[in-house]
A and B are shown apart, each in its own frame.
Chain A
Amino acid sequence: MNTLEIKETEKQKSETLVSGSVAVIEALLAENVTTIFGYPGGAIMPIYDALFDYKKQLNHILVRHEQGATHAAQGFARVSGATGVVFATSGPGATNLVTGLADAMIDSTPLVCITGQVFAHLLGTDAFQETDIVNITSPVTKWNYQITDASEIPSVLAKAFYIAKSGRPGPVLIDITKNAQLQLFDYEGYQKCDFIRSYKPQPDIRISYVEQAAELINQAKKPFVIFGQGVILGNAEKEFLQFIEKAGIPSAWTIMGMSAIPTNHPLAVGMLGMHGNYAPNLFTNECDVLIAIGMRFDDRVTGRLDKYAKQAKIIHLDIDPAEIDKNVLVNVPVWGNCKETLPLLTERVEQKSHQEWITKFHQAIAIETEKLIEPELFPEEGEITMGEVIQLINELTNGEAVMVTDVGQHQMITCRYSHQNKTRSNITSGGLGTMGFALPAAIGAKYGAPERTVIAVMGDGGAQMNIQELGTIMQFKPNVKILILNNSFLGMVRQWQELFHEKRYSFTDIQSPDFVQVAKGYGIKGNKVALREELKSALQEMIDFPESFLLEVAVRMEDNVFPMVPQGKGVSEIVLCKEDI
């Protein structure tokens, strides 16, 4: 090479030199990321500096607390099916992510969280804002990794996005030291990852198991389908409907599976679990073949395990082999993505209607409707019930809204009574039961589905956890409806204290600020309602208002959620009222 040529190659080389921070942003663009929820800080400043030049391509939402960023990213991912992206700084910024990561882990939500970290040479020295976030988050992430050299950034981020979204989704955390963010390196472009040699996102489908399952279903007199979020995560709603409609099987959902089929579908028989519907709990212990699809037999669904569906042959369709036989021993494990396994099963099952068996469900539903649902949804006197609020929302939105909930009584009531026509309409903290989830998750959901009405339903307790995210709404103006069902108690704990602790209301009488005034301080319009006559118009005003709106509804203080499978009891021991416990 002559001098000129050497100069030329050096020039080319310097053109491909980019900083680690720019490589991070380039990776996000290559992964079609549109929205980032985050909070800057010392150790992630170079990435934020790079982001400044990409403001047009990437919409960064500045939250008010990093926990809010994770929940917002979860809400975004859950309504859109895309991966949620979070930025946070080192130390406290990173540790604030832990609750959201745990929530995303247990509810299988794809997230990629990028945290800044102190300079590599300071690692382990208790430097300013240093925490060992990789070890802290190991139990609550699907994968995590620390980058200390910029050259690793493209390949590691490609891995992160692949792992977060493939197989059973989950959160991934990538910790990048500040020197790596600043370091200039020879950037060879971004290549998406679709293979990791030690990682098998989904198991191979074994046709013999599909055949065994079909045989059991064809012989069944009283088959029963219970399904979870796997149907939604696998985008298998259509395949699922084709299966249950051909085989004529009544189907019940877990809280995470809700909205995978329209809640008014003729084969839909309600929600499973501790506060689920009467019929599906009762007949879990009467069916002859139980077909579990994309669900994990959580203890809130199964109640006491030694009294769970002992009479039934159990078929379990799941993408995660570790879920097979984890809680409930199954007869036929159908490994794989239900998007692929369900059509194979549908091919092999006979067209049936099981009319007599379905009638039994409807009889039980009628009992629950008369004893519980009617008085809850259409009370004629006394204070407002939570149920009637949800019923009115059903009327006003025609079941088209995205309902986002925290955890507790309002969550159970919302999930029991809300009508949902579209998939990805029920966003809740299912496995972890995180108070303070709803408000930030609703913000994220609005960015994930801007065309839909998003309603955050909260209790007065949960509304005070992460209330700071009103500031995010103030600044970025996502049109989120904030509905607070205020019973002046930490309702679900109070219910348990009433039922199982002789009404010793230990620290569950929580005081609230004037929520409407708080909202006003953030420039958000609000209203408060306590009278039945005003409820409908107040809800209408909230839904129709062109911007965010906070509505506080004073509801009955000591209402209980029923039916209930008391802890330690079998699912068929479900009780309809307090007196039966």
Chain B
Amino acid sequence: MKKEFTLTIYTENHVGLINKIAIMFSRRKISLESFNTSPSEVPNIYRFTIVVVEAEAVVKNLVKQIEKIVDVFKVYCNTNDEIVWQQMALYKVPTEVIIKEVKVERLLREYGAKAVVIRNDYTVFEATGQGEEINKLLKKLDKFGLIEFVRSSRIAIINASEGIHKKVVEMELKNPALQTINNEFLDKKDQVFQM
């Protein structure tokens, strides 16, 4: 039976690591529902949040295989009842509609949306919530001339994980990371010998 799982992965900050993690899923032809990567609270350590819908046995294998990647510290795997999670969405709507239609304002308040940009021609609202709520608001705003819509990937905090911050700090403390050297030669082509 397939279920939704959220994987939280702590890694080094290395170029190409996204590919190495992504191919673990693509080799089994598993599509990703959501994929987020960002720096963690600790310098040089990155945090991935990946959502997949798969059978538990497959996800367990995946977790171990991802953990085997040299630059990966740790993988946590959780079902939806073990995490607090959110997505963010942006909705672009014609400003004149909002001015005219009282209903829209009520709607936005109901969903806790707030205006990020207000211009003569359009207004951008931001709402956070879980997939369902974001979809509902989308459906409703669609009727009022929605111009553009985008949603972020999921971010999640693990319920029973008070020690994680401590662990991440420990990861960094143990022998600091080698600094990745970025490609600084991109604009120096005249200075290097060529064959």
Binding site for B on A (CB under 8 A): 42, 45, 119-123, 134-135, 138-139, 142-146, 148-149, 151-152, 155, 163, 177-179, 182, 195-199, 320-322, 324-326
Q: Is the CB of A138 within 8 A of B23?
A: yes
**For residue B64, which residues in chain A have a CB less than 8 angstroms away from its CB?**
321-322, 324, 326
Query: 14 A–B contact pairs at CB < 8 A?
Result: A42-B195, A119-B185, A121-B185, A121-B188, A138-B19, A138-B23, A144-B16, A148-B184, A179-B192, A197-B175, A198-B12, A198-B70, A198-B73, A321-B68
**For residue A325, which residues in chain B have a CB less than 8 angstroms away from its CB?**
57, 60-61
B106 close to A (CB within 8 Å): no
Q: Is the CB of B27 within 8 A of A139?
A: yes
Q: Is the CB of B183 within 8 A of A120?
A: yes
- Of the residues A123, A139, A322, contact of B61 by C-beta under 8 Å: A322
B178 close to A (CB within 8 Å): yes
A177 to B182, CA, bound (A): 13
Q: Is the CB of B192 within 8 A of A121?
A: yes
What bracket does the count of chain B residues touching chain A fall in? 35 or more
A182 to B193, CA, bound (A): 9
Interface centre among B174, B175, B194 (most CB of A within 10 A): B194
Nearest-neighbour CB distance to chain A for B91, whole angstroms, equals 36
**For residue A198, which residues in chain B have a CB less than 8 angstroms away from its CB?**
11-12, 70-73, 171
Known interface pairs A121-B185, A320-B68, A322-B68. Does A134 touch B16 (Cβ–Cβ under 8 Å)?
A: yes
Nearest-neighbour CB distance to chain A for B180, whole angstroms, equals 9
Q: Is the CB of A138 within 8 A of B16?
A: yes
B20 close to A (CB within 8 Å): yes
Known interface pairs A135-B16, A320-B68, A322-B68. Does A197 touch B171 (Cβ–Cβ under 8 Å)?
A: yes
Chain B 114-134, CB within 8 Å of chain A: the 1/0 string? Answer: 000000000000000000000
7 new A-B contacts, CB < 8 A, other than A119-B189, A138-B20, A321-B64, are: A45-B195, A138-B16, A139-B23, A146-B16, A321-B67, A322-B67, A325-B57
Nearest-neighbour CB distance to chain B for A180, whole angstroms, equals 9
- Of the residues A123, A134, A155, A163, contact of B70 by C-beta under 8 Å: A163
A326 to B65, CA, bound (A): 10
Nearest-neighbour CB distance to chain B for A8, whole angstroms, equals 29
Q: Is the CB of A199 within 8 A of B70?
A: yes
Q: Is the CB of B68 within 8 A of A119?
A: no
Q: Is the CB of A179 within 8 A of B27?
A: no
Nearest-neighbour CB distance to chain B for A192, whole angstroms, equals 15
Nearest-neighbour CB distance to chain B for A111, whole angstroms, equals 15
**For residue B175, which residues in chain A have a CB less than 8 angstroms away from its CB?**
195, 197
B73: nearest chain-A partner, CB-CB: A198
**For residue A123, which residues in chain B have a CB less than 8 angstroms away from its CB?**
183, 186
Across chains A and B, the number of contacting residue pairs, with CB separation under 8 Å, is 84
A183: nearest chain-B partner, CB-CB: B192
Known interface pairs A121-B187, A135-B16, A138-B16. Does A149 touch B181 (Cβ–Cβ under 8 Å)?
A: yes
B107 close to A (CB within 8 Å): no
B177 close to A (CB within 8 Å): yes
**For residue A178, which residues in chain B have a CB less than 8 angstroms away from its CB?**
195
Q: Is the CB of B192 within 8 A of A119?
A: yes
CB interface residues, B 6-60, toward A, < 8 Å: 11-12, 14-16, 19-20, 23, 27, 57, 60
Nearest-neighbour CB distance to chain B for A237, whole angstroms, equals 26
A138 to B71, CA, bound (A): 13
A148 to B192, CA, bound (A): 13
- Of the residues B12, B181, B189, contact of A152 by C-beta under 8 Å: B181
**For residue A148, which residues in chain B have a CB less than 8 angstroms away from its CB?**
181, 183-185
B185: nearest chain-A partner, CB-CB: A120
A45: nearest chain-B partner, CB-CB: B195
A128: nearest chain-B partner, CB-CB: B195
Nearest-neighbour CB distance to chain B for A213, whole angstroms, equals 20
A196 to B15, CA, bound (A): 17
**For residue A155, which residues in chain B have a CB less than 8 angstroms away from its CB?**
178
Nearest-neighbour CB distance to chain A for B111, whole angstroms, equals 41
A152 to B184, CA, bound (A): 13
Q: Is the CB of A197 within 8 A of B65?
A: no
- Of the residues B11, B174, B189, contact of A121 by C-beta under 8 Å: B189
A177 to B194, CA, bound (A): 12
**For residue A149, which residues in chain B have a CB less than 8 angstroms away from its CB?**
181, 184
A326 to B59, CA, bound (A): 11
A179: nearest chain-B partner, CB-CB: B192
A121 to B187, CA, bound (A): 7
A138 to B26, CA, bound (A): 13
A321 to B61, CA, bound (A): 10
Nearest-neighbour CB distance to chain B for A112, whole angstroms, equals 14
Q: Which 3 A-B pairs have the closest CB atoms?
A: A120-B185, A322-B64, A121-B189
Known interface pairs A42-B195, A123-B183, A198-B12. Does A143 touch B171 (Cβ–Cβ under 8 Å)?
A: no
**For residue A326, which residues in chain B have a CB less than 8 angstroms away from its CB?**
61, 64
**For residue A163, which residues in chain B have a CB less than 8 angstroms away from its CB?**
70
A401 to B60, CA, bound (A): 43
A143 to B20, CA, bound (A): 10
A131 to B146, CA, bound (A): 44
Chain B 145-162, CB within 8 Å of chain A: the 1/0 string? Answer: 000000000000000000
A155: nearest chain-B partner, CB-CB: B178
**For residue A134, which residues in chain B have a CB less than 8 angstroms away from its CB?**
16
**For residue A145, which residues in chain B have a CB less than 8 angstroms away from its CB?**
14
